[in-house]
Chains A and B, each alone.
Chain A
């Protein structure tokens, strides 16, 4: 080993390979996986015979649990797909660094997960420049991949071409979680309008809902996130567009609509009357949830599915606590809506630096096609029957009680899933907790009133360059307005700053892109 290294060092020093390498951008092979594709996979992908050598495949993906999982499920996947699988797990918090440096040095493996939409958008430019395989033309040859939802596939497309296999996400999980026992004590029903929502928060503060005789409760708990926190969801109730909306046939950013201001006024009122935690612009998710778990706040607005973990943690402290969920809340105009995401979470891309031939690409696609077969989809999503889950009434899945065990053996593999419940005939969850079961129903019901982002499949160069830093101006202004540090005129001034800083180009480019797509 040492000898070899010394030799390499010597070679590097004596020749200019190194400098040459840096200069040329090193688009050479990754060296991770030299296993050539076996040619036995034909259209449709299944290996022709059982005796064939396993196909070597390396996947890079993000890890969202504390530890790397045991390899039992990986072994089962290998067996069922006749693959020699290597999974490079990368901690969630550092995924971007790993992705960027591996990409720039040509070290990405054959299949690379993108973690989320935000990272994916950063790679648009590279995708356009032929760094990843276009898979659109091949998809139709695979029985399962061809079932992927066309609308979502279109949302992932770059210049109308498909490069990625997506992992399904419910279009909207957003809604309200509140303390039902508090509401019952105060004689309040689940809110149906923004006025009722405000009233519930006020009662939670002033009506002594926990009955301890002290004024020590507040209404809403929120955190430093204008999107996945409460703000954007409440903005939907007021009828604000999702990121961008049409006004007189032209696209405009959400904050230029009067509804956005109404939402800010609503929050300003909550803040001024002490119905929301005073430090919400700097509160972490951990501290936000803590306020509701410990019975200081009575409402949480965000993903309704969070009710499960909130309930578990709350009853450890207060066994009598009870949660309920609500959606379909209408604003002053009488309409109820809810913002949606583009329908995908994670995605997989196939770098040209490591996938050398169309043959190899087809074998890889065959693997992902198999991953969409019900048996394997269940394996990655739920794990091994009678170990990580049991089948209960109605053929639903009851997950194992021992979450620490499932965290270590099965949970990380969920990230590998491609497609999802609407495209695969797979097992579904049984929810013991009524509030969680209701949350799942409401998540489906959300699909009937979605507010979509019209720019999901559009493109703006300036947005790619400066979108994030410009959005910062608006986010800051929104917080400052709510906290009373900025008035309406001041907020408009910040919008002007946004326009001058490049916002005008973004508006123009999106409208151009829209005109092209119609």
Chain B
């Protein structure tokens, strides 16, 4: 974009920067507290309650977490499930979304309604469990991926992006002798990279956060994703299971708060690293010279 050098334009720019800076600050403070909390000593955290700059850096929480390979293993599981899951989901979703974006498709409206319907009505945990069990997926990684392979929300969004592509693309491609598959992979997907990146990110985050399926379908602890470990530590450290479980005192010593914070940091950082790689797709004019040329 060319610079806008009018007074109004500069004021506008200034205001945008100030607002966004404040928004970022308000957003980052609690997270800074978590990072600081994971690097401070247990007693400092207990006394101050809200730490932003630890007086004394202590790596105890991290050495504790990394002293066994449990966290590495569950990280690997999560990375694997996220990678394969996202790929699998994207293939199914983009095929279906493209198909349903075609305006000349017979039964398109009915199919879309059917999909929206599943967003509102679900049979619940137990019938789904029975399906997963009948397919022989219990205690396999497939159970963490296949039952959540397509998210109706993501499908609808992606389809909407596909529909917003300029009309006439398909026609001209057809005239050039492209098949439907060719149109999808050579034209539609390359032109929809921002949307593809977005939906991939949505899927990746969902897989990264997967928790309940792991609890329900996975029996072997070595196949647990990171979230299981994370939630267990957070819940124990917050004393949420409290005495209701009939334990107390000497029976359960909750893990230190610093450990809770450190696990949150460790479990969040990988997802944060993914985002900057996708940001180039959100730049303006990422599709410059798209179709008209």
Residues of A within 8 A of B (CB): 4-5, 8-9, 12, 17-18, 21-22, 26, 31-32, 62-68, 88-94, 97-98, 100-101, 104-105, 107, 115-118, 169, 173, 225, 227-228, 284-286, 288-290, 293-294, 302-309, 313, 316-317, 341, 345-346, 403-404, 407-408, 414, 429, 436
Contacts and interface: CB of A to CB of B under 8 A. Distances in A.
A341 B43 CA distance: 34
Categorize the interface residue count of chain B.
Answer: 35 or more
Interface string B116-153: 00000000011101110111111000100000000000
Interface of B: 42-43, 46-47, 49, 64, 67-68, 70, 125-127, 129-131, 133-138, 142, 212, 215-216, 219-221, 224, 228-229, 231-233, 235-255, 257, 259
A5 B135 contact: yes
Given A93-B231, A284-B239, A104 B136 contact: no
Looking at chain A's contact residues, the main secondary structure is helix
B72 to A, nearest CB: 12
B150 to A, nearest CB: 16
A336 to B, nearest CB: 21
Contact of A286 (B228, B233, B239, B252): B239
Nearest to A346: B246
A228 B244 contact: yes
B231 A303 contact: no
Given A290-B49, A309-B249, A93 B232 contact: yes
Contacts of A169: 246
9 nearest A-B residue pairs (beta carbon): A285-B239, A305-B249, A345-B246, A228-B243, A303-B248, A68-B221, A93-B235, A306-B249, A116-B246
Contacts of A91: 215, 228, 231-232, 235
A345 B249 CA distance: 14
Given A8-B135, A32-B219, A97 B248 contact: no
Contacts of B244: 116, 118, 228
A68 B252 CA distance: 15
Contacts of B220: 88
12 contacts: A12-B135, A22-B127, A64-B252, A66-B255, A88-B220, A101-B216, A173-B249, A228-B244, A284-B240, A285-B239, A303-B243, A408-B68
Contacts of B248: 173, 228, 302-303, 305-306
B127 to A, nearest CB: 5
B134 A117 contact: no
A313 B251 CA distance: 16
B232 A63 contact: yes
Contacts of A66: 229, 232-233, 236, 255, 259
Given A97-B216, A173-B249, A284 B238 contact: yes
Contacts of B254: 285-286
